[in-house]
Amino acid sequence: MDFEIPSGQLIALLGPSGGGKSTTLNLISGLLQPTSGDVLFGRENVTKQDALQRGVGMVFQNYALYPHMTVLENIMFPMKMAKMPKAKRRQKAIDLAKLVRVESQISKKPAALSGGQQQRVAIARALAKEPNLLLLDEPLSNLDARLRVEMRQEIRRIQQETGVTTIFVTHDQSEAMHIADQIMVLNDGVIQQFAPAQTLYTDPTNQFVASFIGEPALNLIPAQTLADALPAVFGQAAKSVQTLGIRPEAFALQPTDDPFLQARVEVVQEQHFGREQQVQLRLNDQLLEVTDLGPVLALNRPLMTYIKLPYLYGFDERGKRIYPHFNEVPAYDE
């Protein structure tokens, strides 16, 4: 594994359970030692240093606040260990409480706080060390859905206000895509792609990234489903395409400004979830989940649709992306 985290950015480590996210974070923090290779902070080799020497701040899934201390005492504790004068550490703790918006709770103990408030205190305590790096390991997973959305916005705000380089571990793609400047997608301990969220969505380098990023999920079908159209889309590389990925928003009822190919389908099912529309189409015996198709006239009737080619991906037998010949192939390291 070889990567560089840009200074001052918020980076998400994203992937399934067991993909290597927390291990990577622990290698960066100094809680784990690499079997070989080096960890550098800027030009300083910190491979042999522990977490304290590296000057990192960490917030875990379990916030681990000291239950017998008040909020203010929890935030002051790292500064007390660093032997900062009492008046100075108190004022700095109050400033941090304001930053994370718990200034009205500073006299309470952790048991009296909500989960979101406890998380804010844990972030303030981590920032009290003035860390070189702030590391967050699944910090939102214990919160309910509405609070998770609120807190990811707060983490983004705090990171932008402090400018501290932050690495955020999550298995939730929506969290990563909303919060991060760039996302490192990991699977089986291997970096699949490291790029901004929109690049991961529109230009994935392999089948794993294309399938992992996006909701509803990418439709995967055998290449022979559209065998006649493949040479026109992929040129000479068409024979290597084993699997096709089709984004749910790829289908339209009218020709579009994007390059497209025509496909006759049947509408099997149509559902509405508030403003969202999901349609199930049958394309040559393959069922596809489609969004934003527009008004559907009748079920189980043939219908001509147009598949926008930028939302159609080809993959070889190993899952490597095969690019359409109408696109300039981007630089990609094997």
pLDDT for the residue 264: 87
**148 vs 70 pLDDT, higher one:** 70
Q: What domains lie within the chain, and their CATH numbers?
A: 10-207 (3.40.50.300), 216-322 (2.40.50.140)
pLDDT at 331 over 60: no
SS3 content of the chain, % helix, strand, coil (to 5): 35, 25, 40
**Rounded to whole angstroms, how far apart are CA atoms 321 and 315?**
5
What pLDDT is recorded for position 330? 40
95, HSE (Cβ side, Cα atoms, 13 Å): 11
Mean pLDDT of 237-264: 90
Say how far apart CA 103 and CA 317 lie, in whole Å. Answer: 56
Query: What is the distance between the alpha carbons of residues 156 and 179, in angstroms, rounded to a whole number?
Result: 6
Give the H/E segment covering residue 75: helix 71-81
> Judging by beta carbons within 10 Å of its beta carbon (0-12, 13-18, 19+), is residue 154 exposed, middle or buried?
middle
pLDDT score recorded for residue 276: 78
pLDDT of residue 298: 67
Helices (H), 163-249: 173-179, 197-202, 207-212, 230-234
Mean pLDDT over residues 244-262, rounded? 89
For the residues of 147-180, what is the DSSP string, one character each?
HHHHHHHHHHHHHHHH--EEEEEES-HHHHHHH-
The CA angle 127-73-124, to the nearest 5 degrees, is 20
Which pairs count as long-range contacts for 203-210, CB under 8 Å and 24+ apart, including other chains?
203/330, 204/313, 204/321, 205/320, 205/321, 205/332, 206/315, 206/319, 206/320, 206/321, 207/243, 207/245, 207/313, 207/315, 207/319, 207/320, 207/321, 208/319, 209/185, 210/245, 210/313, 210/315, 210/321
pLDDT at 33: 92
User: CB–CB of 102/124 below 8 Å?
Assistant: yes
Q: Examine the pLDDT at 327 and tell me if it is beyond 60.
A: no
Residue 334 has pLDDT above 50, yes or no: no
Which residue, chain included where needed, has tokens 């910190």? 46
What is the reported pLDDT for 139?
A: 82
